[in-house]
Amino acid sequence: MTEIVTTNIKSLPLVYRGKVRDSYAVGDDKLLIIATDRISAFDVILGDPIPKKGKILTALTDFWFKQLDGIVPNHLTGIDPTTVVAPDEVDQVKGRAVVAKRLKPILVECVARGYLAGSGWKEYQENGTVCGIKLPAGLKQSQKLPEPIFTPAAKAEAGHHDENVTFEQVCKLVGDDIAHKIRDYTLALYKKAADYAATKGIIISDTKFEFGLDENGTVILMDEILTPDSSRFWPADQYKVGQSEPSFDKQFVRDWLETQPWNKKAPAPKIPQDVLDKTSEKYEEALIRLTGKGVE
């Protein structure tokens, strides 16, 4: 399999290169969104690709859109990506792209948390809250919360960290009506996905959704959903309260980078192939556990 770090689609106008995806305009109302094999760690895009990553993320997102159908409309058009590019560009999109409705992004990262980890654990230790939500005293790291909570973040400019905000701030940013919708959708999607994943031995600690508005102002689910890049997936059989959990994601790369003399600014050091391969295996293991199959 050939890895793709940067796509080069000449037949369509480039709209945006993100940390992982390259998006091209298809007409004026659709986007071809291609998941590359890029990986970012500590908000820096690394120079080395993770084998199969773009295809794994695409297969997993596709699976979840079907699994969670009925909660909120999503951005998929059903158009086959291989039909919107030139014949010699088909290899760049096969198995790793979607043709989506082009939406106006709502600039809130919609995070649902069922457990206390990451920035949530950090804020809880300092204030007993997560995004302003008061939690019971005495909770431990990685502990399951009494109820999943909505912990939004304001989407930052490239290269900056997203900033956790309160629900009241979201209401001010996007208006009460949209704020309530994205909160309710986020929690409903998370609960259904977490219940399903639990039957496959995976705990979804937390996850992030993105929504956009279509031309009628309808809220639509977009981007990737419930992948190791947008979520914390924990193997249920290793779960213990009071520790930092191992996860199905960039842990190998992050751990290796932590051993390097690196200031966490681009360019990142060259990553050894075995670290890249191990990371790929972890991503694919999550895909296989959840969907029953891997990628070619």
Determine the interface stretch with ligand ADP among 77-85, 99-107, 138-146, 235-243 (rule: CB under 6 A). 99-107
Least distance (Å) between residue 20 CB and ligand ADP: 4
| Strand ranges inside 157-249, DSSP E | 163-164, 202-213, 219-222, 231-235
Name the residue whose CB lies closest to ligand ADP: 18
Least distance (Å) between residue 104 CB and ligand ADP: 7
Residue window 49-88: x/- pattern of binding to ligand ADP, with contact defined by CB under 6 A: --------------------------x-------------
Residue window 2-41: x/- pattern of binding to ligand ADP, with contact defined by CB under 6 A: ----------------xxxx-x-------x-x--------
- Give how many residues touch ligand ADP by CB under 6 A: 17
Q: How many CB atoms lie within 10 A of CB 52?
A: 23
Q: How many CB atoms lie within 10 A of CB 142?
A: 20
Residue 112: closest CA among 286, 230, 282: 230
- CB burial of residue 102 (10 Å; 0-12, 13-18, 19+): buried
In the region spanning residues 239 to 278, those forming contacts with ligand ADP, defined by CB under 6 A, are: none
Output 20 or 130, the one with its CB closest to ligand ADP: 20
Output 179 or 220, the one with its CB closest to ligand ADP: 220
Residue 2: closest CA among 54, 39, 75, 47: 54
**Rounded Cα–Cα distance for residues 290 and 203 (Å):** 11
Determine the interface stretch with ligand ADP among 102-110, 179-187, 191-199, 265-273 (rule: CB under 6 A). 102-110
Least distance (Å) between residue 33 CB and ligand ADP: 6
**Rounded Cα–Cα distance for residues 201 and 240 (Å):** 14
Output 41 or 116, the one with its CB closest to ligand ADP: 41
- Selected binder of ligand ADP within 94, 101, 180, 192 (CB under 6 A): 101
Instruction: Check binding of 212 to ligand ADP (CB under 6 A).
Output: yes
Instruction: Check binding of 102 to ligand ADP (CB under 6 A).
Output: yes
Inter-residue contact 61 to 224 (CB < 8 Å): yes
In the region spanning residues 123 to 182, those forming contacts with ligand ADP, defined by CB under 6 A, are: none
All residues at 6 or more sequence positions from 219 whose CB lies less than 8 Å from its CB, including other chains: 72, 106, 178, 181, 182, 185, 211, 212, 213
All residues at 6 or more sequence positions from 44 whose CB lies less than 8 Å from its CB, including other chains: 264, 265, 266, 267, 268
In the region spanning residues 105 to 124, those forming contacts with ligand ADP, defined by CB under 6 A, are: 105
**Rounded Cα–Cα distance for residues 104 and 257 (Å):** 36
In the complex, the residues that contact ligand ADP under the rule CB under 6 A are 18-21, 23, 31, 33, 75, 100-103, 105, 210, 212, 222-223
